[in-house]
Amino acid sequence: MLKERLEPLLLKVQKPARYVGGEYNSVVKDRAQVKTRLALCFPDSYEIGMSHLGLKILYSLINAREDCWAERVYAPWPDMEALMREKGLPLYGLESFDPLTAFDFIGFSLQYELSYTNILNMLDLGGINPLAAERGNGDPIVWMGGPCAMNAEPLCDFADLVQLGEGEEIMLEMIDLYQKHKASGHWDKKAFLRDAARIPGMYVPSLYDVSYNPDGTVAAITPKDGAPAKITKRICKDMDKAFYPETFVVPYTEVVHDRAVLEVMRGCIRGCRFCQAGFIYRPLRAKSPDVLCSQGRSLCETTGYEEMSLASLSTSDHPQVEEMLDKIIDYTLEEKINLSLPSLRVDNFSKELLDKVNRVRKTGLTFAPEAGTQRLRDVINKGVTEEEIMRTSRIAFEGGYTGVKLYFMMGLPTETEEDLLGITRLGQKIVDLYYSLPAKPKGKAVNVTISVSTFVPKPFTPFQWCAQDTYDTIVKKHDFLRHSLTTRKISLNYHEVRTSVLEGVLARGDRRLGRVIYTAWKKGCKFDSWEELFDFDKWKEAMDEAGLTMEFYASRERSPEEILPWDHIDAGVTKAFFLREYEKAKRAEITPNCKEHCAGCGANKLIGGGRCIG
Amino acid sequence: MDNARTIVVEGAPVYEYRAFYRKFSRAKYISHLDLYRTIQRSFQRSKLPIWFTQGFNPHIYLTFALPIALGYEGVEESFDFRLRENLPEEEILSRLNAAFPEGITVTRAAAPQKKPEEIEKAQYTLLFSAGNIPAEKLLADFDAFLAQDAILTEKRTKKGLREIDLKPGIFASQTGLTGDAVLLAVTLPAGTAQNLNPTLLTGAFAAAKGLSLDYRLIRRDAVLCKDGSRFR
């Protein structure tokens, strides 16, 4: 058995607890008693994959079915992978230790573009050909889902199925269809895929032909064999009725998010124009406070977690935020559970609730103005004002805080040197504010941390047509920003720029990038989001060999008439709305949030029309 | 009842226990820090009336007399904890064991008898092989290695790498063959004054011979006090 052959390797690798399974609440079933086996793969390390809420939900959802068994699979770290390849051990499910070839479905969660090579590597390590066209009728079905599935075109060479939107319902429909086909006695994968394309939200890449213009842009996307011309993402209409796990698998070894996570809502009303999540998860759907409380209680009691956090894009925008916080804080204080709260807009809170919120241990003061001037914040529709930041900082400093973290993006559309200077200026104003306060903490220096990431235009945002700043431009802007600093009270952090370039290429990529990903993987690329393992030169070679350029994908402005590689995907929010927003952005005009005024984005059709909120 | 040591904290009685547990199978891959967390969470799940430290950030009181290394099985390992009520041993054991993950089983919970400072040494059993090298040859080489007057190796300490001689620390050792693996039973210093892990010894052997050892078993069998009795 695989488990025995693994044993001698485990003391030779870092953190072997990642590879042994057996964690509390992990689900082990009898192979003979289940009809369908699914591998839920996260294409990154155990510590990251085990922190992901989406897969926890799907794991519990599928395992609640008696006829199915879902297992977890993560990318082994290179030290473990090398030993597995040396000894001929295949990648396996953590619950059964069976190789990937023993599963009916191999699913991948697409959370970020730089995890794509790990998908190929995991399939290969599991004994499965990464290329869909070369897999046989009896090979497992490879399916994918998650936010990056909204433009899965670069992965079309590898996926049999792509699920769009939220997985709770479509997953079960897919399994039902599979079982029906299997029960018929003559399994034909192609026939199954054709039928699967009729499930709303199910995208079968092989049923679409894509042709290109001489300039490399998409000429046409043509469905065949009865596949729909547009595939609309799925959502759970009522979050109170949506499936939520009663418990989580509790890892032996520490993972990134090692706590009870309560998903308070999906969607966001803010409409920040750079934010893909803000659009693809629309419309806003919240859970009611009582449902949240009972889900939180169940999670804490069954896991023993001493910490709980709230997950959403903007918790302050929960329609009943005060009642919700009031109840959750009461519960966690009574049970000695540490609640980690995000930065909240506390303007309308009662004195009593504010006191309660303040009793919860605070993590730190962070703001995400994203841009240095009000003009540019209007361009990106980020509704954070300088006044708000100064007011909150003042209260925090007077309460004993000495540090503030500010998050910015660089390379935003229409950005000028003035906007970059605005970043430094805002930092300086906060430093000055601190020293102007009589009630500041005694004898302590202030520290303002400025973190700058590179803006990457994403599909399904108003900036999907924009050119991304080139590597050279960003590096120049970094230098400019660094030289504008005049105090050591401000520390400046940058993200690695090359990874952002590749992220930009893959995010708005087309099917031709499949060859590039394949070649890069063959050259040894994996764990591309880990700076110490990222090898940009290999990616450049892979692009060259495919006769493509990074500039075409990343730093080219698209015209509104161009057919975008993801135009056959319907995220609810319409292309016309994005275009409208893009034009408003160029004029630095803001769009009010959904609560104040419906901007007609189109996502309301997913819940049957009408107002989404308010 | 005397199955716990009663202490008084801020006017309220608190009952201190020493639990003895076995650590085996997949749980042997839990590091000490992770084990601490795992046991805290198990206490939360068990719903025992566990005592929390007083203060701004209350947490479950839990201490280990002698941490056990990652990869080691343990037969009679221990940790101390406190309850707000004095409960019978059977109830503590059944509730804790129901809440522990696979590979950790509590076998006793009673009032602490010895102080952690009284720990002097520990007994270990190891089984190892090395690729295709015949076990007889590996055993002969290992015996010769142990017979040296001094066994020098580098040990990672808080002050960086330091060269030490393992030889004087070996209280007792016995070697033999079990199937195709070398068996080593060894007693080494343990506790706060000096602590030597047996894999430091086998690791020094592997390094000297340029070998990569495959461990089949690394187990701490007993923790002993200066007077020769078991740590209880």
> Comparing A365 with A172, which gets the higher pLDDT?
A172
Identify the pLDDT of residue A402: 87
Identify the pLDDT of residue A440: 77
d(CA A457, CA A514): 20
Of A16, A22, A302, the CB nearest to B101: A22
As a whole number, mean pLDDT of residues B27-34 equals: 94
Q: Read off the pLDDT band of A347 (50, 70, 90).
A: low
Of A253, A302, A338, the CB nearest to B34: A253
d(CA A161, CA B194): 59
**B30 with A252: Cβ contact below 8 A:** yes
Identify the pLDDT of residue A10: 93
The CATH T-level fold of domain B5-112 is: Alpha-Beta Plaits (3.30.70)
Q: In the 3-class helix/strand/coil scheme, how is chain B assigned residue by residue?
A: CCCCEEEEECCEEEEEEEEEEEECHHHHHCCHHHHHHHHHHHHHHHCCCECECCCCCCCECEECCCCCCCCCEEEEEEEEEEECCCCCHHHHHHHHHHHCCCCEEEEEEECCCCCHHHEEEEEEEEEEECCCCCHHHHHHHHHHHHCCCCCEEEEEECCEEEEEECHHHCCEEEEEEECCEEEEEEEEECCCCCCCCHHHHHHHHHHHHCCCCEEEEEEEEEEEECCCCECC
Q: How many CB atoms lie within 10 A of CB A272?
A: 24
Of B26, B29, B58, the CB nearest to A336: B58
- Would you tell me which residues 302-331 of chain A have a C-beta closer than 8 angstroms to some C-beta of chain B? 302-306
CATH 3.30.750.210 fits A236-363+570-614, yes or no: yes
Q: Read off the pLDDT band of A118 (50, 70, 90).
A: very high
As a whole number, mean pLDDT of residues A448-467 equals: 97
Identify the pLDDT of residue A363: 62
Q: In the 3-class helix/strand/coil scheme, how is A241-257 assigned residue by residue?
A: CCCCCCCCCECCCCCCC
Q: Give pairs for A433-438: CB < 8 Å, separation 24+.
A: A433/A390, A433/A393, A433/A394, A433/A397, A434/A393, A434/A397, A434/A402, A437/A394, A437/A397, A437/A398
Q: Does residue A12 belong to the interface with chain B, where contact is any CB pair within 8 Å?
A: yes
As a whole number, mean pLDDT of residues A360-379 equals: 86
Q: Does residue A301 belong to the interface with chain B, where contact is any CB pair within 8 Å?
A: yes
SS3 A75: coil
Q: Read off the pLDDT band of A345 (50, 70, 90).
A: low
Of B33, B101, B216, the CB nearest to A23: B101
**Closest CA of chain A from B98, distance in Å:** 11
Contacts of A24 in chain B (CB under 8 A): 41-42, 45, 100-102
**Among residues of chain A, what percentage have pLDDT more than 90?**
85
Determine the residue among A86, A253, A337, A358 to mutate to test chain B binding: the one whose Cβ has the most chain B Cβ atoms within 10 Å. A253
**B52 with A17: Cβ contact below 8 A:** no
Alpha helices, DSSP H only, in A490-606?
497-507, 513-522, 536-545, 550-554, 575-586
Contacts of A15 in chain B (CB under 8 A): 31
d(CA A537, CA A528): 12
**B26 with A252: Cβ contact below 8 A:** yes
Whole-number mean pLDDT of chain A?
Answer: 94
Multiple choice CATH, B118-225, 3.30.470.20, 1.20.810.10, 3.30.2350.10, 3.40.50.300: 3.30.2350.10
Q: What is the pLDDT of residues A469-516, one digit of tens each?
A: 999 999 999 999 999 998 889 999 998 899 999 999 999 999 999 999
Yes or no: say if A131 and A157 are a contact pair by the CB < 8 Å rule.
yes
**Closest CA of chain A from B141, distance in Å:** 21
Alpha helices, DSSP H only, in A399-470?
417-436
Determine the residue among A4, A46, A306 to mutate to test chain B binding: the one whose Cβ has the most chain B Cβ atoms within 10 Å. A306
**B26 with A303: Cβ contact below 8 A:** no
Contacts of A289 (CB under 8 A, 6+ apart): A320, A323, A324, A327, A328
Identify the pLDDT of residue B54: 84
**Closest CA of chain B from A425, distance in Å:** 37
Q: Does residue A253 belong to the interface with chain B, where contact is any CB pair within 8 Å?
A: yes
Of B37, B60, B102, the CB nearest to A22: B102
Q: Does residue A225 belong to the interface with chain B, where contact is any CB pair within 8 Å?
A: no
Residue B2 pLDDT greater than 70, yes or no = no
Identify the pLDDT of residue A348: 63
**Closest CA of chain A from B101, distance in Å:** 5
SS3 A553: helix
**Among residues of chain A, what percentage have pLDDT more than 70?**
98
**A304 with B42: Cβ contact below 8 A:** yes
Lowest mean pLDDT among A97-111, A357-371, B17-31, B106-120: A357-371
Q: Does residue A13 belong to the interface with chain B, where contact is any CB pair within 8 Å?
A: no
Q: What is the pLDDT of residues B187-210, one digit of tens each?
A: 999 998 889 999 999 999 999 999
As a whole number, mean pLDDT of residues A301-312 equals: 94
Identify the pLDDT of residue A362: 64
Q: What is the pLDDT of residues A393-418, one digit of tens each?
A: 888 888 788 888 999 999 999 999 99
Identify the pLDDT of residue A397: 85
Whole-number mean pLDDT of chain B?
Answer: 93
Shortest CA distance to A120 belongs to which of A165, A81, A169? A81
As a whole number, mean pLDDT of residues B169-198 equals: 94
**Closest CA of chain A from B118, distance in Å:** 31
Closest chain A residue by Cα to residue B70: A11
Mark residue B131 as left, alpha or beta (left: phi above 0; alpha: psi -120 to 50; beta: remaining): left
Q: Are strands A105-109 and B152-157 parallel, antiparallel or unpaired?
A: unpaired
Q: Read off the pLDDT band of B155 (50, 70, 90).
A: confident
Q: Does residue A24 belong to the interface with chain B, where contact is any CB pair within 8 Å?
A: yes
Q: Which two tokens stand for residue A348?
A: 């309308």
Identify the pLDDT of residue A97: 97
Determine the residue among A11, A15, A259 to mutate to test chain B binding: the one whose Cβ has the most chain B Cβ atoms within 10 Å. A11
**A21 with B59: Cβ contact below 8 A:** no
Closest chain A residue by Cα to residue B52: A336
Identify the pLDDT of residue A431: 93
As a whole number, mean pLDDT of residues A162-166 equals: 98
Contacts of B34 in chain A (CB under 8 A): 17, 252-254
**For chain A, domain boundaries:** 2-232, 236-363+570-614
SS3 A325: helix
ipTM: 0.90
Q: What is the pLDDT of residues A125-146, one digit of tens each?
A: 999 999 999 999 999 999 999 9
Write the CATH number of the domain with boundaries A2-232: 3.40.50.280
Q: What is the pLDDT of residues B50-101, one digit of tens each?
A: 999 887 778 899 999 999 999 999 999 999 999 999 999 999 999 999 999 9
pTM (2 decimals)?
Answer: 0.94
Give the phi and the psi of residue A163 in degrees, each rounded to 5: -95, 130
As a whole number, mean pLDDT of residues A584-611 equals: 94
Residue A428 pLDDT greater than 60, yes or no = yes
Contacts of A301 in chain B (CB under 8 A): 45
Closest chain B residue by Cα to residue A251: B38
User: Considering only CB atoms, which residues of chain B are within 8 Å of chain A?
Assistant: 25-27, 29-31, 33-34, 37-38, 40-45, 52, 57-60, 70-71, 99-103, 212, 214-216, 218
**B29 with A10: Cβ contact below 8 A:** yes
**A304 with B37: Cβ contact below 8 A:** no
**For chain B, domain boundaries:** 5-112, 118-225
Residue B1 pLDDT greater than 60, yes or no = no
d(CA B166, CA B150): 7
